[in-house]
Amino acid sequence: MQNFDPQNALMEIKKEFGDHGGVVPSITRSSTFFVKEPQTLPQIFQGIRGPEKGGYYLYSRHFNPTLVALQNYLAALENTESALCTASGMSAISCSLLQICKQGDHIVSSNTVYGGTHALLGEVFPEMGVQCTFVDPTDVDAFEAAIKPETKVIYTETVGNPTLKISDIPRLSKLAHSRGITLVVDNTFSPVVTTPSILGADIVVNSLTKFINGGSDLIAGAICARKDFIDELMNIHRGRAMLLGPTLDPQVAFDLIQRIPHLPLRMREHSARALSIAKRLEELGASVIYPGLSSHPQHELMTSLINQDYGYGGMLALDCKTKEKAEELMSVLQNKENFGLIAVSLGYYETLMSCSGSSTSSEISPEEQSKIGLSPGLLRLSIGYTGSLDSRLEQIERGVKSVGLV
Ligand code: PLP
């Protein structure tokens, strides 16, 4: 286990107060900012003046004070020098990779990543001359074997969507760095629980849409990395975030600022509930996948990666073998038991359930799904924390029994 405590790291950041002594920061909606002297504008364009160099903002696609306040939280949370927030998790992923890779370059990626990421790497990037080889995230040797002279990035998710396979980030980091390759890690499934930068990741991307926000009411993303990389992303002439323009709205950034301080508390509860439910399902004989169970093939690896006191995360998978059985169970759990909601996404305070193969991983072909061990009946559950745990355990037990899963 790691010693890093994200809760303490968040406490360290300079608190922003609002106008009139507000305990919350004020929202700066302005798209543009005036300067006193006309000479200042060219200086900002030349990088001589800026919010960190003399207190001048320019334009909100570039820097915005509310976004800067949010970015400080993200950098603290992921223990990186700097961070940049974007309008979605996908734009955080695409801008990071496009900043590093140009035509002719190559990426080695885990084959069990979010379906949208799989489509980006496997279909969109090749059309732009950036090729990708997908490998089993649990097999570091397979990453090594796939490296070519053109490889610029090793890409993985700490906890893979939706199979919950764990990436050995310290070993992947050693491999990447020995070959001059950048390790990019998506930490969306396990913020707080794991801190990939401590384990050796160079760039950590997050969909803030999920656990980090926790309210399922907005879409946002973040890139957490060294300051020089973040500065490059915002470079006026070359920055992929600056020029592709996935700017986060200050109102959305403000909403996120209100929710990050209680993220560690929420993650602890997501994890505790998920572990109890996983244990109950296992006792009943169901085919449950959860990294906190000693039956998970990478339980020991996950134990070595996690920060103390935040458990193993809120994501759990239940293999119902067929899509029909998974759908039958979801229907009972939502419509009879009131256990959770049939919906994609994750990290909400209510439990969300979806059958991944035919929804959020449907971009991955059925042949590839079977190769990566993604069963058509894999039910992915993002465990919420409303209601009493005892009643949730009773609901899921009745549910799995009533559809004959156990
Ligand atoms: N990364 C992971 C692991 C995801 O599950 C998702 C979305 O489900 C994304 C990235 C994309 O995030 P967003 O929907 O915010 O673009």
Distance 120 CA to ligand 1 centre (A): 12
Pick out the chain residues at pLDDT < 50. none
Decide if 319 is inside a domain.
yes
Q: Which atom of ligand 1 is nearest to the CA of 208?
A: 15
- The atom number, within ligand 1, closest to the CA of 161 reads 3
Asked whether 163 lines ligand 1 (CB < 6 A), one says no
Residue 138, C-beta contacts closer than 8 angstroms, at least 6 positions apart: 165, 166, 167, 168, 297, 298
Is 1 domain-assigned? Answer: no
Residues 25, 127, single domain; the answer is: yes
Q: 31 and 66 share a domain?
A: yes
What is the per-residue pLDDT for 89? Answer: 98
CA of 89 to the centre of ligand 1 (A): 5
pTM of the predicted model as reported, rounded to 2 decimal places: 0.98
Same domain for 87 and 20, yes or no, is: yes
The verdict on 225 and 270 lying in the same domain is no
* Among 246, 261, 276, residue at a domain's last position: 261
Phi-psi category of residue 245: left, alpha or beta, with phi > 0 → left and psi -120 to 50 → alpha: left
Which atom number of ligand 1 is nearest to the Cα of residue 219?
15
Ligand 1 centre distance from Cα of residue 212 (Å) = 12
Q: Tokens 């020995």: give the residue.
A: 178
| 93 within domain boundaries | yes
- 44 belongs to a structural domain: yes
When divided into structural domains, the chain yields a total of 2
Task: For residue 389, tell me if it sits in a domain.
Answer: yes
Tell me if 377 is assigned to some domain. Answer: yes
Same domain, yes or no, for 90 and 217? yes
Instruction: Tell whether 192 and 289 lie within a shared domain.
Output: no
Q: Which residue, of 232, 261, 290, is where some domain finishes?
A: 261
162 lines ligand 1 (CB under 6 A): no
- Please choose from 163, 186, 209 the residue to mutate so as to test ligand 1's pocket, defined by most ligand atoms within 8 A of CB: 209
State how beta strands 288-289 and 352-355 pair. unpaired
Same domain for 281 and 165: no
Residue 194 CB less than 6 A away from ligand 1: no
- Which residue type, as a one-letter code, is found at position 375? S
Query: At 193, which CATH number?
Result: 3.40.640.10
Give the Cα separation of 191 and 310 in Å (integer).
10
> Is 184 contained in some domain?
yes
Give residue 199 CA to ligand 1 midpoint distance, Å.
Answer: 22
Are residues 238 and 336 located together in one domain of the fold?
A: no
Residues 279 and 337 in one domain: yes
For ligand 1, say whether the CB of 88 is within 6 Å of any of its atoms. Answer: yes
Q: Are residues 275 and 257 part of one domain? A: no
- pLDDT computed for residue 14 by the predictor: 87
Q: Is the CB of 207 under 6 A from ligand 1?
A: yes
* Structural domain span for residue 396: 263-402
291 with 244, same domain: the answer is no
Closest residue (by CA) to atom 13 of ligand 1?
A: 89
CB 203 within 8 Å of CB 84? no
Q: What is the chain's mean pLDDT, rounded?
A: 96
CATH number of the domain that residue 384 is part of: 3.90.1150.10
If you take atom 8 of ligand 1, which residue's CA is the nearest one? 345
In short, whether 246's Cβ falls inside 6 Å of ligand 1 is: no
Boundary (domain end) residue, out of 245, 261, 277:
261
Same structural domain, 211 and 169: yes
Is residue 55 a part of any domain in this protein? Answer: yes
Residue of 207, 213, 256, 356 with the most ligand 1 atoms within 8 Å of its CB, for mutation: 207
- Ligand 1 contact via 110 beta carbon (within 6 Å): no
SS3 letters across the chain:
CECCCHHHHHHHCCCCCCHHHCCCCCCCCCCECCCCCCCHHHHHHCCCCECCEECCCCECCCCCHHHHHHHHHHHHHCCCCEEEEECCHHHHHHHHHHHHCCCCCEEEEECCCCHHHHHHHHHHHHHCCCEEEEECCCCHHHHHHHCCCCEEEEEEECECCCCCCECCHHHHHHHHHHCCCEEEEECCCCCCCCCHHHHCCCEEEEECCCCCCCCCCCCCEEEEECHHHHHHHCCCCCCHHHHHCCECCHHHHHHHHHHHHHHHHHHHHHHHHHHHHHHHHHHHCCCEECCCCCCCCCHHHHHHHCECCCCCCCEEEEECCCHHHHHHHHHHHHHHCCCCEECCCCCCCCCEEEEHHHCCCCCCCHHHHHHCCCCCCEEEEECCCCCCHHHHHHHHHHHHHHCCCC
